[in-house]
Structure 1
Amino acid sequence: MATLGEILKSARQKLSASNIESASLDATLILSFLTNYSKVSLLIHDDDEVSDDLKDRYFSLIDKRASGYPTAYILGYKEFWGLKLNVNESTLIPRPDTETLVEAALNAKVKGKVLDLGTGSGAIILALKSEYKDDIEAFASDMSEDALFVARENAKSLNLDVEFIHSDWFLNIPKEKFSLIVSNPPYIRDDDEHLNKTSLPFEPITALTSGLDGGDDIRIICKNAKDYLKEGAMLMVEHGYDQGLLISNIFKENGYRDVCTLKDLGGNDRVTLGCFCTK
């Protein structure tokens, strides 16, 4: 019979041969998921023999990962901002780049009502609520009922109070005045070659693409957010690494002031923000 160490080594080789960049980590995470062993425990039990059933189930998942299917969907969760979030094919997989948006929202030091548009798994609003706690009333919307189900389950498991709203952008949002509106909307160009790479082919297309230049949804958000922002409140959106100028111009065309674009940890344009000021 094969040992844990042997099947782990074989899985790493298989994923590497399939050009999976995180081959070693993914092979370990999937085996940890099936065995309920931590990474350290896997090392300790390296010489333990495994049953044929476990081996078959493991390599079935490894084959799935080798095809490009995301590890987060295999495991059913993804960690973001220190929070363990359930994810599935109804939600985008939270990415480290989005923490740039969370950091910007925290640096704004707001109080009152905060709205997250297109919340998906709830990653952004749950991260903000976990930090701001009772200083904010948290609201989040999504057009997908399936995504909202996941977001609600995440809020429940984390014991965080968020009001979730089924809405296509502002369609069903109550006429409140928010201290901050944030969004990680679709921003990929319809013809972007990256749609056929990495995990993107497996993620919900409606949460990814937004017209010929990738800015259609952000135009809708910028135009309508002004009716929902308090005087002096900010709108913040995530966007693509090459869209800083495009999105900044959309903000300015809609009358936002003090518009600026923030870079992510990789040094790429990632978040643009602006202030709603009429005075």
Structure 2
Amino acid sequence: MTIFEALKLSRAKLAGAGIESASLDASLILSYLTDLTKVQLITHDTDELSDETVNHLNELIEKRISGYPIAYILGYKEFWGLKLKVTEDTLIPRPDTEIIVQKALDCKVHGPILDMGTGTGAIILALKSEYGDAVEAYACDISKKALNVARENARTHSLDVTFIESDWFSALGDKKFSLIVSNPPYIEENDPHLTKTSLPYEPISALTSGSDGLDDIRIICADALSHLESGAPLLIEHGYNQGKSVATIFTENGYKNVETIKDLAGNDRVTIGFLI
């Protein structure tokens, strides 16, 4: 089977299964298997593939059809221009999360910064790549496996971040920060979305947080008060329909200048408040 024939068949299978990104996913999977770029797949489209490669391709296409995320198949996801390793122990970074990075950069802080529940390290590595030596960067996660992935991503991009195994603030002592960011679990325990798209394959502990999805956000907002420097911001990502509820949690905890920022689709996505 030639590369052209393999791509055509793979795209047809994915499209027939309702995969919206069928053409792109087929190209990405074959690039992954052959070490050829998407351009090279076109210029080498008459090259014959080995039976082993064809069999592996068919296995991965069927896996993708089952709903398995393309990022887990490839083992990486692009975020803020960084190629980040992802595994089933980490959430897959979403484009909407870049909103919290941009807002954090707008704050122009100079002291230590902290990312709570870092996962792949996407947010803190994006911030460190922009802030550089101007800030000390810290990140924590309760998952050892997630921290191992985050550390590997930091080494890959030569970014100096201190990673700490911690259940939210429990292992941070009395250290204070000039900025704290978090993309915590915020999905309701019985949300029907948990059975759709890629979510069934992602770690449930990084997705859900109580009956209304806000349990962890309540903990972060309350406990961050003793870890923020005077005037420092707290930024939290949340669900599209949680903006008002999260803003209320911020104000009830005494944060000032509380604001909810929308994502590119116009949905509430990040809430920020300041310790004043």
TM-score by length of 1: 0.98
Partner of 1:9: 8
Supply the RMSD in Å over aligned alpha carbons.
Answer: 0.6
Structure 2, unmatched stretches of 5+, are none
Deviates more, 1:232-241 or 1:48-57: 48-57
Partner of 1:175: 174
Query: What SS does the aligned partner of 2:212 have?
Result: coil
Partner of 2:67: 68
Percent identity of equivalent pairs: 63
Deviates more, 1:10-19 or 1:204-213: 10-19
Provide the rounded CA distance (Å) in 1 between the counterparts of 2:48 and 2:167: 52
Provide the rounded CA distance (Å) in 1 between the counterparts of 2:46 and 2:266: 43
Query: Counterparts in 2 of 1:1-279, with a 5 A limit?
Result: 2-277=1-276
Provide the rounded CA distance (Å) in 1 between the counterparts of 2:246 and 2:267: 14
Provide the rounded CA distance (Å) in 2 between the counterparts of 1:55 and 1:230: 57
User: Deviation per CA, 1:159-208, whole angstroms, max 9, x where unpaired?
Assistant: 00000000010110131110000000000011111000000000000000
Shift of 1:78: 0.5
Query: What SS does the aligned partner of 1:230 have?
Result: coil
User: Deviation per CA, 1:1-52, whole angstroms, max 9, x where unpaired?
Assistant: x110111111111111111121111111000001011010000011111111
Provide the rounded CA distance (Å) in 2 between the counterparts of 1:23 and 1:97: 22
User: Deviation per CA, 1:90-138, whole angstroms, max 9, x where unpaired?
Assistant: 0000000000000000000011100000000000000000000011100
Segments ≥4 residues shifted beyond 4 Å: none
Query: What SS does the aligned partner of 1:64 have?
Result: helix
Provide the rounded CA distance (Å) in 2 between the counterparts of 1:267 and 1:80: 20
Amino acid corresponding to residue 12 of structure 1 in structure 2: R
Structure 1, unmatched stretches of 5+, are none
Provide the rounded CA distance (Å) in 2 between the counterparts of 1:79 and 1:14: 25
Query: What SS does the aligned partner of 1:259 have?
Result: strand
Question: What is the aligned residue count?
Answer: 276
Provide the rounded CA distance (Å) in 2 between the counterparts of 1:174 and 1:129: 22
Provide the rounded CA distance (Å) in 2 between the counterparts of 1:192 and 1:242: 13
Amino acid corresponding to residue 258 of structure 2 in structure 1: V
Amino acid corresponding to residue 216 of structure 2 in structure 1: D
Provide the rounded CA distance (Å) in 1 between the counterparts of 2:232 and 2:56: 51
Provide the rounded CA distance (Å) in 2 between the counterparts of 1:51 and 1:257: 62
Provide the rounded CA distance (Å) in 1 between the counterparts of 2:167 and 2:13: 42
Deviates more, 1:136-145 or 1:166-175: 166-175
Provide the rounded CA distance (Å) in 2 between the counterparts of 1:40 and 1:82: 20
Query: What SS does the aligned partner of 2:232 have?
Result: strand
Provide the rounded CA distance (Å) in 2 between the counterparts of 1:266 and 1:245: 17
Query: What SS does the aligned partner of 2:188 have?
Result: coil
Query: What SS does the aligned partner of 1:261 have?
Result: strand
Amino acid corresponding to residue 108 of structure 1 in structure 2: C
Amino acid corresponding to residue 27 of structure 1 in structure 2: A
Query: What SS does the aligned partner of 2:178 have?
Result: strand
Provide the rounded CA distance (Å) in 1 between the counterparts of 2:171 and 2:26: 43
